[in-house]
């Protein structure tokens, strides 16, 4: 069996570190499920980062839960920069004291990425709250004024997905540099809140309509295609990030996951302990090789999805992978 280090050495680029499982919101779509009570330990964080950098990681994103609740967040940013990580990003729900934006370590962030889920307070509050809408708009404006590179993630759900272009217009005016749209996936709490899910056909229609219009704005927009017609499938190759070994996800309790869709399933394939990476016993079920990803291991291609899509003319695409067909795919950059 190939050792963990050998599998990732020289291939690893990007790591998502879920530094806390605590959260100050309770979003009904959250793929993380119910919030926990674990903050990542500082000493082990340093050891982990050191190892990840040796394997090649140069992009680190801090998230959670809500990462601004971690008492050592600013130290973590500082440590990552001191260790030479070139790109350090924070994903936040924006529910934090604006003074944090004046912190010297915070200012070393390459990007700060806020989660906004609607063009107005009412729509955003379907997921978050009116209070959070006010906090996030205030903090986005302040961050732009202070010269941060500000990004926004919008998770498209059944209430907000037709607002995407309006959100683009709003953020463009506010000086936000990019919008990254997720389409809500039926994981974690979203599984129990089915009315938030978007019908595949509705998403495909909206995507095809809005895509050409999004090119005219200054702001960069990334919007996932997520479904294709069966007869388009020869144009697309699955380039699973998990199979490429270019990305890892680490939770606050140092469990290591290959794919974001596995986070709330307990299907980690490894863990970090005593300064070393260890595979779990049946790690092959939860990590991926190219030979696996067409099969039942990939969360979007698991048996229940096969059944769901068997009688439809469409096929789901990976949630996070870049497809070979960049022209019709998603990346719109001006």
Q: Which residues bind ligand SAM (CB under 6 A)?
A: 23, 29-32, 63-64, 66, 91-93, 115, 153, 155, 182, 184-185, 187-188, 190
Q: CB–CB of 243/19 below 8 Å?
A: no
Q: Which of residues 85, 319, 323, 329 is near ligand SF4 by CB under 6 A? A: 319
Q: Which does 185 bind (CB under 5 to 8 A by kind): ligand SF4, ligand SAM, none?
A: ligand SAM
14 part of the interface to ligand SF4, by CB under 6 A: no
The backbone torsions φ and ψ at residue 146, rounded to the nearest 5 degrees and listed phi first, read: -80, -5
CA distances from 73 to 61, 106, 110, 225 (A): 12, 9, 15, 34
CA distances from 137 to 26, 63, 98, 278 (A): 19, 19, 11, 42
Q: Which does 299 bind (CB under 5 to 8 A by kind): ligand SF4, ligand SAM, none?
A: ligand SF4
Beta-carbon neighbour count of residue 36 at 10 Å?
16
Q: 163 or 185: whose CB is closer to ligand SAM?
A: 185
C-beta of 92: minimal distance to ligand SF4 in Å?
Answer: 8
Q: 62 or 277: whose CB is closer to ligand SAM?
A: 62
| Element of type H or E holding 327 | none
Q: Which does 261 bind (CB under 5 to 8 A by kind): ligand SAM, ligand SF4, none?
A: ligand SF4
Q: 107 or 189: whose CB is closer to ligand SAM?
A: 189
Beta strands 255-257 and 59-64, pairing class: unpaired
Q: CB–CB of 161/198 below 8 Å?
A: yes
Binding-site residue total for ligand SF4 (CB under 6 A)? 25
From residue 228 to residue 267, the character string flagging contacts with ligand SF4 as x (rule: CB under 6 A) and all else as - is: ----------x-xxx----------------x-x------
Round to whole Å and give the CA distance between 268 and 218.
39
CA distances from 33 to 29, 44, 45, 256 (A): 8, 25, 23, 17
C-beta of 257: minimal distance to ligand SF4 in Å?
Answer: 10
Q: CB–CB of 64/21 below 8 Å?
A: yes
Q: Which of residues 12, 17, 30, 250 is near ligand SF4 by CB under 6 A? A: 30
- Dihedral sign, CA of 191, 197, 201, 203? negative
Q: 176 or 252: whose CB is closer to ligand SF4?
A: 252
Residues that bind ligand SF4 (CB under 6 A): 23, 25-27, 30, 32, 64-66, 93, 238, 240-242, 259, 261, 288, 293, 298-300, 318-321
């Amino acid at each position: 069996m190939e050792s963990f280090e050998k599998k990732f050495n020289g291939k690893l680029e990007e790591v998502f570190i879920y530094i806390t499982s605590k959260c100050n919101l309770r979003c009904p779509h959250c793929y993380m499920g119910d919030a926990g009570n674990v903050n990542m330990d500082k000493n082990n964080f340093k050891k982990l980062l050191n190892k990840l950098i040796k394997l090649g990681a140069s992009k680190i994103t801090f998230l959670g839960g809500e990462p601004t609740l971690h008492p050592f967040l600013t130290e973590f940013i500082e440590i990552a920069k001191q260790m030479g990580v070139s790109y350090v990003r924070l994903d936040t729900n924006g529910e934090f004291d604006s003074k944090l934006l004046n912190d010297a370590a915070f200012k070393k962030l390459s990007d700060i990425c806020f989660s906004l889920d609607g063009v107005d307070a009412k729509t955003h509050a379907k997921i978050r709250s009116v209070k959070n809408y006010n906090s996030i708009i205030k903090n986005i404006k302040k961050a732009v004024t202070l010269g941060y590179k500000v990004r926004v993630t919008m998770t498209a759900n059944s209430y907000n997905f037709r607002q995407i272009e309006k959100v683009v217009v709003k953020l463009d005016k506010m000086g936000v540099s990019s919008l990254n749209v997720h389409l809500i996936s039926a994981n974690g709490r979203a599984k129990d809140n089915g009315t938030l899910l978007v019908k595949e056909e509705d998403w495909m229609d909206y995507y095809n309509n809005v895509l050409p219009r999004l090119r005219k704005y200054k702001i960069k927009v990334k919007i996932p295609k997520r479904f294709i017609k069966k007869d388009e499938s020869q144009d697309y190759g699955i380039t699973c990030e998990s199979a490429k070994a270019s990305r890892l996800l680490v939770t606050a309790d140092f469990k290591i996951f290959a794919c974001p869709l596995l986070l709330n399933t307990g299907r980690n394939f490894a863990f970090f302990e005593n300064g070393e990476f260890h595979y779990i016993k049946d790690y092959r079920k939860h990590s991926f090789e190219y030979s696996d990803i067409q099969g039942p291991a990939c969360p979007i291609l698991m048996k229940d999805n096969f059944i769901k899509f068997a009688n439809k003319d469409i096929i789901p695409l990976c949630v996070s992978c870049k497809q070979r067909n960049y022209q019709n795919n998603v990346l719109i950059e001006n």
